[in-house]
Structures are given as C-alpha cells and as structure tokens.
Amino acid sequence: MVSASPMHAPLNLALYLVTDPEMTARRGLLETVASAIAGGVTIVQLRHKDGPARPRVEAGRALKALLARHGVPLIVNDRVDVAQAIGADGVHVGQDDLPPAAARALLGPDAIVGFSITDESQLAALDASVDYVGLGPIFPTGTKLDAAPAVGQTTFAALRRRIPRPVVAIGGITVANAASAIAAGADGIAVVSAICAANDPCAAAHALRAVVDRALAARTIGRIA
C-alpha cells in the first residue's frame, strides 16, 4: 500500500503539456508554451529525448523562467541531472529510467516525481516516492513510436482504481475523447501533438481545458448524487 503525502502543494493535473522539439520548432518552444499556458495548461513537461544535454539545459532554464512567472510547474522527462541543473520543479521517470525512489533521494522532498505505468505488472513498482502517475496510452497514439499498446477505457479504469495517487491519462487524447479519459478516472490529461502541433496552441489548450473542466465537474456532481 502506497502511503505518505508529498511535501509540495497539491498538483493541478487538469491539462498537462508534454513538449516535443520537432513539433515546437516552427513556432519556438517558449512561444508555443506561453500560448498554451494562456489557453489553460496547468503543468508542463520538458521532453527532449535526443541530443546533447547543454542545449536542453539552456532551453530548460528559459522555460523555467517563463513558467515561474505564471506559477506553472516544470517537470523534466527522464533526466534528473537536467532537472537539477535548471531548477525544475520535478522529474517524470518511466519503467527504464532511474527508479522513483532514487529520483526522490536526489531531488529532495519538495520535488514532484511522476511515474509512467502502462500495464498491471508495473503497479508493484509504485511507492511512496511517487506524486502522480502517467497512465496509458489510453488510446492509440502515433506521437511516441515505442509506445505500449493502448489499454482502452475499461482497463484504464480498472488500473486507475488500484493507484492511490493522482493519475493523468496519456496517449492519443483529443478534444473528442478527453471527456472519456476523465470519466475513466483520470484527474487530468497529458497531450503532446494536440497542442504542440496545433495551428493555435492557445485555442487548442482552451478547448481541451474546457472539456476537462466540464468532465471533472460532472464526475464530482455524480459522486455527490
């Protein structure tokens, strides 16, 4: 049983933006993210899998400064060293990365530590060092070439009931299916192309946030009823 509470303020996972260097290249990382924040993004993950660390650190520092002005947390994908170098709010690790407990030991009690889970067999690795779980892919996705098979809403809901931490749904989420992810138990949605590849990231984020907010409100009303 996972216990203990994170030391930082409660997370707002409603609209979680994961950046992609190729998708943001046309507009620029900072401009894309600034536009997305204006549209309602609540947390941002810097994901840059390839290339040297120095450009990633430089981009991360600029992004951290931007997000700090808006009170939006910055999470770094995989790289604890990069998170430390740029003063990020936390890190998100996957099954093949540094274990969550090790990331927590390096970053301290105030850091945000996220953890990816794609199937039932990985639930055993969930421990008290994890603040939130990225669960999925819930729907088929082409953004991540090595993504696991989509679990679907039914399996997602069953797995979510066994996770005693906030859960953000990821994988193939659009305006058309975002409400289904929330109905399946997600506390928010994580998207890449739905915002990064949009012609208007602000409008795309605003549309997604509206769907999520309505779905969360409907779920709360249903519980009360």
Q: Which domains does the chain have, with CATH numbers?
A: 15-224 (3.20.20.70)
Q: Is the pLDDT reported for residue 224 higher than 70?
A: no
Judge residue 149's burial from the number of C-beta atoms within 10 Å of its C-beta, 0-12 exposed, 13-18 middle, 19 or more buried: exposed
Q: Dihedral, CA atoms, 36, 191, 9, 206, nearest 10 degrees?
A: 40
Which of 35, 56, 64, 116 is the catalytic position? 116
Among this protein's residues, is 35 annotated catalytic? no
Please tell me the predicted confidence (pLDDT) of residue 8: 66
Q: Cα 30 to chain center, whole Å?
A: 18
Which of 27, 61, 144, 165 is the catalytic position? 144
Q: Is the pLDDT reported for residue 203 higher than 60?
A: yes
How much of the chain, in percent, has pLDDT values that exceed 90? 84
Residue 115 near residue 100, CB atoms below 8 Å: yes
Neighbouring residues of 216: CB distance < 8 A, sequence distance ≥ 6: 14, 182, 187
As a whole number, the mean pLDDT across the chain is 92
Candidates 84, 94, 86; CA nearest to 67 is 86
Which of 47, 64, 79, 209 is the catalytic position? 47
Residue 121 near residue 130, CB atoms below 8 Å: no
Please tell me the predicted confidence (pLDDT) of residue 5: 46
Q: pLDDT tens, 27-76? A: 999 999 999 999 999 999 999 877 677 888 999 999 999 999 999 999 99
Among this protein's residues, is 54 annotated catalytic? no
Report pTM. Answer: 0.93
Residue 114 near residue 94, CB atoms below 8 Å: no
Please tell me the predicted confidence (pLDDT) of residue 191: 98
Please tell me the predicted confidence (pLDDT) of residue 222: 64
Please tell me the predicted confidence (pLDDT) of residue 11: 93
More confident residue, 4 or 54: 54
Please tell me the predicted confidence (pLDDT) of residue 4: 54
Among this protein's residues, is 116 annotated catalytic? yes
Q: pLDDT tens, 103-158? A: 999 999 999 999 999 999 999 999 999 999 999 999 998 666 666 789 999 999 99
**Among all chains, which residue has been given the structure tokens 């859960």?**
167
Q: Is the pLDDT reported for residue 219 higher than 90?
A: no
